[in-house]
Amino acid sequence: MDIIYIRDLRIDTIIGIYDWERRMKQTIVLDIEMATNIREAANSDNIGDTLNYKDVAKRLFNFVGESEFELVETLAERITELILTEFNTPWVKLTLNKKGALRGVRDVGVIIERGRKT
Protein backbone atom coordinates (compact mmCIF):
# COMPACT_ATOMS: atom_id res chain seq x y z
CA MET A 1 0.00 0.00 0.00
CA ASP A 2 1.19 3.49 -0.80
CA ILE A 3 0.81 6.56 1.39
CA ILE A 4 -0.20 10.08 0.44
CA TYR A 5 0.54 12.56 3.20
CA ILE A 6 -0.11 16.11 4.30
CA ARG A 7 2.25 17.76 6.78
CA ASP A 8 1.84 20.87 8.89
CA LEU A 9 -1.75 21.66 7.90
CA ARG A 10 -2.67 24.60 10.14
CA ILE A 11 -6.33 25.34 10.84
CA ASP A 12 -7.89 27.83 13.26
CA THR A 13 -10.77 26.44 15.31
CA ILE A 14 -12.55 26.57 18.63
CA ILE A 15 -11.11 23.74 20.74
CA GLY A 16 -10.81 23.30 24.49
CA ILE A 17 -12.61 22.86 27.77
CA TYR A 18 -11.88 26.19 29.42
CA ASP A 19 -14.05 29.30 29.06
CA TRP A 20 -11.23 31.34 27.52
CA GLU A 21 -10.69 28.61 24.90
CA ARG A 22 -14.35 28.74 23.92
CA ARG A 23 -14.12 32.48 23.14
CA MET A 24 -11.21 32.45 20.67
CA LYS A 25 -9.91 30.34 17.84
CA GLN A 26 -6.69 28.45 18.33
CA THR A 27 -4.44 26.97 15.66
CA ILE A 28 -4.18 23.22 15.48
CA VAL A 29 -1.57 21.52 13.32
CA LEU A 30 -2.31 18.28 11.48
CA ASP A 31 0.01 15.69 9.98
CA ILE A 32 -1.92 13.08 8.00
CA GLU A 33 -0.91 9.83 6.29
CA MET A 34 -3.51 8.10 4.10
CA ALA A 35 -3.18 4.66 2.56
CA THR A 36 -3.95 4.36 -1.13
CA ASN A 37 -2.74 2.71 -4.30
CA ILE A 38 -1.10 5.20 -6.65
CA ARG A 39 -0.41 2.79 -9.53
CA GLU A 40 -3.46 3.71 -11.61
CA ALA A 41 -2.73 7.42 -11.28
CA ALA A 42 0.95 6.86 -12.06
CA ASN A 43 -0.01 5.01 -15.25
CA SER A 44 -2.72 7.45 -16.37
CA ASP A 45 -1.10 10.67 -15.09
CA ASN A 46 -4.65 11.75 -14.22
CA ILE A 47 -5.55 13.42 -10.90
CA GLY A 48 -8.94 11.71 -10.99
CA ASP A 49 -7.22 8.37 -10.46
CA THR A 50 -5.65 9.21 -7.12
CA LEU A 51 -6.44 10.45 -3.65
CA ASN A 52 -6.34 14.22 -4.17
CA TYR A 53 -4.58 15.78 -1.18
CA LYS A 54 -5.84 19.24 -2.16
CA ASP A 55 -9.44 18.01 -1.84
CA VAL A 56 -8.64 16.47 1.55
CA ALA A 57 -7.05 19.69 2.81
CA LYS A 58 -9.95 21.86 1.59
CA ARG A 59 -12.49 19.56 3.24
CA LEU A 60 -10.57 19.63 6.52
CA PHE A 61 -10.26 23.43 6.45
CA ASN A 62 -14.05 23.62 6.26
CA PHE A 63 -14.82 20.85 8.75
CA VAL A 64 -12.24 21.74 11.41
CA GLY A 65 -12.67 25.48 10.96
CA GLU A 66 -16.40 25.21 11.71
CA SER A 67 -16.08 22.69 14.54
CA GLU A 68 -16.24 23.54 18.24
CA PHE A 69 -15.21 20.35 20.02
CA GLU A 70 -13.95 20.44 23.58
CA LEU A 71 -11.45 17.59 23.34
CA VAL A 72 -8.67 17.05 20.80
CA GLU A 73 -9.50 13.34 21.08
CA THR A 74 -13.00 13.97 19.71
CA LEU A 75 -11.74 16.18 16.91
CA ALA A 76 -9.11 13.59 15.93
CA GLU A 77 -11.73 10.81 15.81
CA ARG A 78 -14.06 12.89 13.64
CA ILE A 79 -11.27 13.86 11.25
CA THR A 80 -10.22 10.25 10.72
CA GLU A 81 -13.85 9.15 10.26
CA LEU A 82 -14.30 11.86 7.63
CA ILE A 83 -11.17 10.85 5.71
CA LEU A 84 -11.98 7.13 5.82
CA THR A 85 -15.54 7.56 4.61
CA GLU A 86 -15.45 10.55 2.27
CA PHE A 87 -12.14 9.75 0.59
CA ASN A 88 -12.48 5.98 0.58
CA THR A 89 -9.09 5.27 2.05
CA PRO A 90 -8.61 2.05 4.05
CA TRP A 91 -6.24 3.50 6.65
CA VAL A 92 -5.31 6.88 8.08
CA LYS A 93 -2.79 8.06 10.64
CA LEU A 94 -3.37 11.48 12.16
CA THR A 95 -1.18 13.60 14.41
CA LEU A 96 -3.17 16.46 15.91
CA ASN A 97 -1.02 19.09 17.63
CA LYS A 98 -2.57 21.75 19.84
CA LYS A 99 0.32 24.19 20.06
CA GLY A 100 0.39 26.38 23.12
CA ALA A 101 -1.89 24.15 25.17
CA LEU A 102 0.66 23.92 27.98
CA ARG A 103 3.04 26.61 29.13
CA GLY A 104 6.65 25.69 28.53
CA VAL A 105 5.80 22.90 26.09
CA ARG A 106 6.24 23.21 22.33
CA ASP A 107 3.77 20.49 21.27
CA VAL A 108 0.93 18.54 22.81
CA GLY A 109 -1.74 16.46 21.14
CA VAL A 110 -2.75 13.00 20.01
CA ILE A 111 -1.68 10.47 17.39
CA ILE A 112 -4.28 7.98 16.18
CA GLU A 113 -4.49 5.34 13.46
CA ARG A 114 -7.78 4.06 12.12
CA GLY A 115 -8.69 1.47 9.50
CA ARG A 116 -6.48 -1.28 8.15
CA LYS A 117 -3.12 -0.70 6.55
CA THR A 118 -2.93 -3.39 3.90
Burial class (CB in 10 A: 0-12, 13-18, 19+), 90: middle
Eight-class DSSP state of 103: T
CA distance 45 to 60: 25
- DSSP alpha helix (H) spans, 1-118: 19-22, 39-44, 53-66, 72-86
- Residues catalogued as catalytic: 98
